[in-house]
Amino acid sequence: MSNTHMVSPRKLLWTSLSSLLLAQNAMAVGFMINPTSHLTGIANAGSAVYDHSTAAISNNPAAMSLMSEKQIGGNFSLLVPDWSINEQWDCAAEGNCAKGNVSPIAAIPTIGLIRPMDNDFTWGVGLGAIAGAGMDYGTQFKTRPIITENKLQVLELMNSISWRMDEKWTFGVGVGVLHGSFEQKQDLPTLSDTSVDDITSAVDFVGRAQECEGLPPAAIAACRGAALIASGLNPASAAETLGNLNSYMGGASGTTVDLEGDDIGAEITLGTTFEYIPGHRLGLAYHYLTDFTFEGSATINGQLLSSETYQKQHTTLTWDMPERLVLSGSHRVNNELNLYWDFERVFFDSFRSTDLRIDGYHTFKIDRNFKDANRYAVGGEYGLNEKTTVQLGFSYDESPVDDSDRMADIPVDDIFKTAFGAIYQVNDQLNVHGYVSLEFLGDAQVEQLASINGTKIGNSVKMDSDTTLYVFGVSFGYKF
C-alpha cells in the first residue's frame, strides 16, 4: 500500500512537472518553446524561413541551405518573471498566501554550427536548453497538496541536414536527442490510515477540508469530519486524522513528497522553403516529438496512508508531447526593410491526461483536457546603415487550456509578446545581437485544486495571476 501512496503523489508531481514544460518558459504555445536567437528580436516571426541565424538547425533545417557560408552562432537569454498571484480567498486570515513572485529567474543558452558540404547539401548541429525554470508558490500556499515548487531543465542536441533542389526549393530534416530532468515538491497532511491505498483520497480530503475555512469553530469541526467520510478515509482513525489535519491547516508541514527523475526523448523535424519570386519566400516545418516516460524516485518524509514514516519509491509517468506545424513567410520590401510572419498550429488535443503507473497498482490519472492552439507572429527588420539593423516583432499565443481545466501546477494561458532588437555587423565575419522581449500572460484563472479521474477536487482554490516576463538576450554569429 505504501507504493500506491508514493504513486499518487508522484503522479501529481509528474503532472506538475508538465507545468514546467508548459509555463515556465512561456515563449510559445503551452510548454512548447521557441529557441532564443536573432529571431527573438522579431518575436520569432519567420521562424521557418529566417536565414541569418543558426536557429534554423532546430526551427527548419531546410533554411540552412539558404546560408552559403560556414558559421557558428550562439545565444544567452535571461528570463526575468514578474509573476504575482491574486488569491480569491482570504489567504491572510488562512495563512496560505503565495510568495510575492512565484517564478524564478531562468537562463537559456544555445549554440549551433552550420557547414555547407557542397553546392547542394548543408549540415548543422545545435545544442541548447529549450526549457527551464519552474514555479515556487511557497510552502504554505493553498495548492501545496499538489505543488509547492517545481523545476525542469530540458537540453536538446539537434543534428540536421538540408538539400537545395534548385533556386526556388530547399528541403531539410533534423533528428534531435532530448534530455529532461525535473524536481517537484508537494506537502500533504500526515495520514497513517492504511485502509485506503489511493492518494486521491488524501487530496480529496484536503480539498474538501479547505472549503470549511471561514465557518464558526464548531461548524469547522463538523465540516472536516464530513470531509473525512466523503473522501473515503477510515472513520476508525478519524481522531488522529483530524488532529493531523488541524495542525496541517494551521500551517504546519505534513508529509512532504520530493520527486526527481529524468528521461531521454527524440525530435524529428521535416521542412521545406520555397522562393516563389525573388525576395519572397515561404517556409513550412513539421515537428514531431516522442512522448516521454519519466522515470525516477519519490522520497516521502512522513506518513502518507501508511505506517511508514519514510519511503522512497520508483515510478514512471507517460507524457504525450504535441506535434507542431509552422508556416512562415519573409518578404523583402526594399534593400532596407524585410517583413516576416508566422502561423503555428500546436496539436495539444492528444494531451488529455497524464497517466502514472506503478508496478502492482492501478493507473492514477490527472485530467488535463488540453486543446489545439495557434501562435501568430509578425515582425520586421530595418537596416539603418551597412552595420546596424533594428528589429520589431509582435506575437500572440492562444491558451491550450480552458479556465475550468487549468491547474496551479500548469498555469499556462494566452500570451501577447512584443520584442525589440538590434543587430550590429562588426566586420564581414562577426555580428552581435541584443534584444528585449516583453511577454504578457493572460490572467491564468484557476478554479480547482485538481481534477483526478474525471472528478474536480477543491473548488475553494480560485485564483488568477498578474504576469509579465522580461526576456533579455545577446546573440552572435561568426562566419568562417
| CB proximity list for 163: less than 8 A, separation 6 or greater | 65, 120, 121, 122, 170, 171, 172
Provide the pLDDT for residue 84.
95
pLDDT per position as a tens digit, 177-196: 998 877 888 998 998 877 67
Helices (H) and strands (E) in the chain, counts: 6, 20
Q: Is 3 a residue whose pLDDT tops 50?
A: no
Given a contact cutoff of 8 angstroms between Cβ atoms, the answer to whether 64 and 56 are in contact is yes
Percent of the chain with pLDDT over 70: 91
User: CA–CA separation, 161 vs 171, rounded Å?
Assistant: 9
Provide the pLDDT for residue 26.
38
The stretch 47-75 carries a mean pLDDT of 95
- Copy the grid coordinates of residue 397: 499565443
Q: Is 409 a residue whose pLDDT tops 90?
A: no
Provide the pLDDT for residue 274.
98
Which of 92-101, 201-210, 299-308 is the least confident region? Answer: 299-308
Sign of CA dihedral 401, 404, 407, 408: positive
pLDDT per position as a tens digit, 20-56: 333 344 345 555 567 788 999 999 999 999 999 999 9
The pLDDT-based confidence of 7 (bands split at 50, 70, 90) is: very low
- Copy the grid coordinates of residue 299: 522520497
| Position with higher pLDDT, 313 vs 268 | 268
Q: Is 361 a residue whose pLDDT tops 70?
A: no
Provide the pLDDT for residue 307.
83
> What does each C-alpha distance from 81 to 64, 76, 97, 470 come to in angstroms?
33, 16, 19, 6
- Copy the grid coordinates of residue 436: 528585449
Provide the pLDDT for residue 12.
40
- Copy the grid coordinates of residue 88: 480569491
DSSP characters over 184-253: EEEEE--B---S---HHHHHHHHHHHHTTTTS-HHHHHHHHHHHHHHTT--GGGHHHHHHHHHHHHTT--
Q: Is 1 a residue whose pLDDT tops 50?
A: no
The stretch 135-164 carries a mean pLDDT of 91
| Position with higher pLDDT, 220 vs 362 | 220
E-strand stretches of 349-479: 353-357, 364-367, 373-383, 388-397, 415-425, 430-441, 450-452, 455-457, 463-479
The pLDDT-based confidence of 345 (bands split at 50, 70, 90) is: very high
pLDDT per position as a tens digit, 416-453: 999 999 999 999 999 999 999 999 999 999 999 999 88
The pLDDT-based confidence of 273 (bands split at 50, 70, 90) is: very high
Whats the size of the chain, residue-wise? Answer: 480
Q: Which residue has the cell 519552474?
A: 134
pLDDT per position as a tens digit, 460-472: 999 999 999 999 9
Q: Is 403 a residue whose pLDDT tops 90?
A: yes
Provide the pLDDT for residue 467.
93
The pLDDT-based confidence of 235 (bands split at 50, 70, 90) is: confident
Largest CA-CA distance found in the chain, in angstroms, rounded: 83
Q: Which residue has the cell 524585410?
A: 338
The pLDDT-based confidence of 226 (bands split at 50, 70, 90) is: very high
The pLDDT-based confidence of 213 (bands split at 50, 70, 90) is: confident
| Position with higher pLDDT, 315 vs 268 | 268
- Copy the grid coordinates of residue 420: 525589440
Range among 35-49, 238-252, 268-282, 304-318 with highest mean pLDDT value: 268-282
Q: Is 253 left (phi over 0), alpha (psi -120 to 50) or beta?
A: beta
Provide the pLDDT for residue 39.
93
Given a contact cutoff of 8 angstroms between Cβ atoms, the answer to whether 325 and 20 are in contact is no
